[in-house]
């Protein structure tokens, strides 16, 4: 089926980022995500259904209370969209056994989104998970030293 993304479906993408990701508000999730919704991410290769995705976002927002997604670019073709984003936040809560270390993340990524029957049916999120882990686990002075050495010995 080759649907075309309309104005209301673009608003749907806005609501996905604003309500679900940035605010963690799930009251309108059934209006945004299809019942058979599936989410794939760098650490989620098997996919999460709608309820699992909402739990995942709740965990992320508990660990990064100020986490924000800023849309940088949107390309729409038919019923598919590619949204380039910037993800920022500070780890001020426990995440998957990792205590709050106060590390900040600032990374770009891209969501590939499929809309079907007026709702988001699939999201495939791509971002540099290794860079995020390094920013959380490697102390700032060590990171700065590494960056300095990289600049001094750049080819």
Query: Hey, what domains does the chain have and what are their CATH numbers?
Result: 7-152 (3.10.450.50)
- Cβ atoms within 10 Å, residue 38: 20
Question: Would you state the structure tokens that stand for residue 87, as one six-digit string?
Answer: 């993800």
- Cβ atoms within 10 Å, residue 72: 12
Decide: 85 and 108 in contact? Cβ < 8 Å.
yes
User: Binning pLDDT at 50, 70 and 90, where does residue 102 land?
Assistant: confident
Q: What is the pLDDT of residue 1?
A: 41
- Residue 86 bridge partners (DSSP): 70, 108
Q: What is the pLDDT of residue 133?
A: 73
Q: How far apart are CA 103 and CA 24, in angstroms?
A: 21
Q: How far apart are CA 3 and CA 74, in angstroms?
A: 18
Mean pLDDT value of segment 16-45? 95
């Amino acid at each position: 089926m080759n649907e075309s993304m309309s104005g209301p479906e673009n608003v749907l993408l806005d609501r996905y980022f604003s309500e679900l990701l940035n605010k963690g508000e799930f009251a309108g999730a059934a209006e945004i995500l299809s019942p058979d919704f599936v989410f794939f991410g760098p650490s989620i290769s098997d996919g999460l259904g709608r309820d699992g995705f909402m739990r995942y976002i709740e965990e992320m927002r508990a660990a990064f209370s100020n986490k924000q997604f800023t849309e940088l670019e949107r390309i729409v073709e038919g019923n598919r969209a590619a949204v380039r984003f910037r993800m920022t936040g500070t780890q001020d809560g426990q995440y998957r056994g990792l205590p709050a270390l106060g590390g900040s993340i600032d990374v770009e990524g891209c969501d590939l989104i499929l809309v079907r029957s007026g709702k988001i049916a699939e999201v495939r999120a791509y971002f540099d998970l290794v860079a995020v882990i390094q920013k959380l686990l490697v102390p700032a002075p060590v990171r700065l030293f590494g960056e300095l050495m990289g600049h001094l010995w750049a080819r």
